[in-house]
Amino acid sequence: MSQTALASIVRGVASMDISQDDIKPKPFIPTHKPTNSQGSGSTSHNRQASVSKLLTKYAKPNPFQPAPSNQSNAVRLALASNTHQTQQTAPPSPVKVTVTKLFGDEIDIGKYDGGFEAESAEGRGEFVHGEAAKALALDSSQAPRPTSSWHLSQFDIGRPLGKGKFGRVYMVRTKSEPKYILALKCLYKSEIIQSKVEKQIRREIEIQQNLRHPHVLRLYGYFHDEKRIFLMLEFAGKGELYKQLSKYGKFSDKRSSRYIAQMADALAYLHSKHVIHRDIKPENLLLGINGELKIGDFGWSVHAPGNRRKTLCGTLDYLPPEMVEGKEHTEKVDHWALGVLTFEFLCGVPPFEDLRGYNATYKKISKVEFQIPDHVSAEAKDLIKKLLQHDPEKRMPLSEVASHPWIVKYKKDRPSSQ
Ligand code: AMP
């Protein structure tokens, strides 16, 4: 993709409002994310230009503004999903939201590898019937707050971006004007049913489509056919953060501080909506076209208690003491994970990792037993220690993270959009 072409056709769009919908999670324990992502696009993602121009506006919330009828589908889609409030009790305060939309014919979306047809020829996915089929007939044009109706034929499909547990993710462009660039994620219904995660997927979609924050990956809409569900996601141009961490081993103070500031901002937003993420880890973070962090996976942000035992087979590394001990937990689990993330960004490994296995990690977490290497600055150490507190109530509030000296120190070097 030509860097100048990309830079010249990117437009920033704001005029966003923040949903006040109450999304109340249930207790839950997360599991390890499937590791079969191929991320085939991330190298070329990394070559993309940082975008030169963003038009940023301060949102004036107007929750009841209807989508103008003369707008194209894609614009209506975005507007409809931005005007989701129907049950507000108090007017929200203006929140600065920068949303970058990519559009235009000039953006090279890459070559489609025929993956969907190949899977269909291989017989992947089965028709689903009865209640399960009803439960997974997910279409945002039929949702309580509808967007436009979509179908696979309305997209030009480009290069594969990765493979998830339930299907592939492709870079796509809407055929109708304006031609938006999106990531289209396919989920096979029969595989969702086999894994018994129908409710979880529904909940994930429900949560993510109501969130609007510059560091939370947007879900613009979704549609389905007989075998698959398709999610229309914000395109995270620089791919997976995890890949960057693997590539560089660890991050500099400046880069880590920037990411942690963005995470703290996003988490404060989620908590204000009563959403607890509960699965913050590098594998769940993507990078936008400006290298800005995007929380990209809400698969475990709400979870029925019945799935607890099954999910405990995942990694423990990011779980706080109260969760590994099976106690009640609150949004403070995300504060703990932020401490783990800060450590991992700066050191390349999570603080409680123990190669002897599950039990050893469990004990370390429970006793909050970790050592911060000498190369970590005193300021970063201070933040890590204040987040990794056994008592959830003693963990540093997110507002204080934002004003912590290690965050503030690097803030002045930062462009305002990041
Ligand atoms: P997932 O099923 O969410 O694990 O996605 C599989 C892989 O596809 C990820 O590991 C990413 O490399 C890629 N991917 C998923 N969503 C996006 C997105 N919105 N933008 C860019 N790449 C993505």
Tokens 């398709």 — which residue? Answer: 230
pLDDT of residue 126 exceeding 90, the answer is no
Annotated ligand binding at 369? The verdict is: no
pLDDT value at position 415?
58
Q: Decide which of 118 and 76 is more confident.
A: 118
β-pair type (181-188, 228-234)? antiparallel
What percentage of the chain has pLDDT greater than the value 90?
48
Beta carbons within 8 Å of 76's beta carbon, 6+ residues apart: 67, 68, 147, 148
What architecture is the 32-233 domain classified under in CATH? 2-Layer Sandwich (3.30)
pLDDT value at position 295?
95
* pTM metric for this prediction: 0.76
pLDDT value at position 265?
97
Active site residues: 279
| Residue nearest (by alpha carbon) to ligand 1 atom 3 | 164
Distance of alpha carbon 237 from alpha carbon 99, whole angstroms: 13
239-409: CATH superfamily: Transferase(Phosphotransferase) domain 1 (1.10.510.10)
Domain parsing of the chain, residue ranges? 32-233, 239-409
* Atom nearest to 235 CA in ligand 1: 20
* Atom nearest to 42 CA in ligand 1: 12
| Residue nearest (by alpha carbon) to ligand 1 atom 21 | 236
pLDDT value at position 357?
87
pLDDT of residue 34 exceeding 60, the answer is no
Lowest-pLDDT range, 67-81, 231-245, 315-329, 361-375? Answer: 67-81
Ligand 1 centroid, distance to 2 Cα (angstroms): 22
Q: Which amino acid belongs to residue 417?
A: S
Going by C-alpha positions, the residue among 399, 375, 396, 374 that lies closest to residue 386 is 396
Query: Up-side HSE of residue 398: CA atoms within 13 Å toward CB?
Result: 21
Annotated ligand binding at 234? The verdict is: yes
**Protein residues whose CB sits closer than 6 Å to any atom of ligand 1:** 37, 39, 161-164, 169, 183, 185, 217, 233-236, 239-240, 286, 296-297
Annotated ligand binding at 46? The verdict is: no
- The average pLDDT across 20-47 equals 33
Ligand 1 centroid, distance to 385 Cα (angstroms): 32
Annotated ligand binding at 297? The verdict is: yes
Q: Give yes or no for a cis peptide into 178 (omega within 30° of 0).
A: yes
- The average pLDDT across 65-78 equals 34
| Residue nearest (by alpha carbon) to ligand 1 atom 2 | 164
pLDDT value at position 10?
30
Annotated ligand binding at 165? The verdict is: yes
Confidence of residue 314 (pLDDT cuts 50, 70, 90): low
Tell me the pLDDT tens digit for each residue of 214-234.
Answer: 999 999 999 999 899 999 999
Tell me the pLDDT tens digit for each residue of 173-224.
Answer: 999 888 999 999 999 999 999 998 888 888 889 889 889 999 999 999 999 9
* Atom nearest to 39 CA in ligand 1: 12
Q: Which of 36, 166, 169 gets mutated to test ligand 1 (max ligand atoms within 8 A of its CB)?
A: 169
pLDDT value at position 404?
98
Tell me the pLDDT tens digit for each residue of 261-280.
Answer: 999 999 999 999 988 888 89
Query: Up-side HSE of residue 22: CA atoms within 13 Å toward CB?
Result: 6
For helices 332-347 and 253-272, give the axis angle rounded to 10 degrees: 170
Distance of alpha carbon 85 from alpha carbon 206, whole angstroms: 14
